[in-house]
Amino acid sequence: MRAVIQRVSEASVTVDNEIISRIAEGLLILIGIEDTDNQEDIEWLSGKITRLRIFGDENDIMNKSILDIAGEAIVVSQFTLHASTKKGNRPSYIRAAKPDVAIPLYQDFIKQFEKDLGKKVGTGIFGADMKISLLNDGPVTIIVDTKSKE
């Protein structure tokens, strides 16, 4: 699993001109799923994201996690995170899991993340044409990959 984690002041997901998720301060998390991902990847990634200290403390030093600030989150599936641009100019998505594999893993990640965060999170709609709006705070954007554990 690969995640792009953005610290946001606010974010929303719109599908068919309807806002389906909206948050204030917290994280917008884009998740890319591979065929080889499993429950271990889900648990590791969820724990890593909930404990990432990327929010400012009283001295404006990134020393607090989303748990510490009681922040909100939106989790959106994004297969393009596994794009390969090695050959030519058209990305290949061969490493991205097909929906029959990706959807259950995406849903399991959301459940695990909600458990670790202790609250419901906003989501996108798998496979939908989504419009994502965000106000990146900092900006702070972190990429985490379960295969390299970084």
Residues annotated as part of the active site: 80
Element counts in the chain: helices (H) and strands (E)? 3, 8
Secondary structure of 12-23 in HEC code, one letter for each residue = EEEECCEEEEEE
Write b or e for each residue in 43-67: b if 16 or more Cβ atoms lie within 10 A of its Cβ, otherwise e. bebbebbbebebbbeeeeeeebbbb
Question: Cβ distance 4 to 141 under 8 Å?
Answer: yes
Residue 26 neighbours by CB distance under 10 Å: 24
Beta strands 72-77 and 122-123, pairing class: parallel
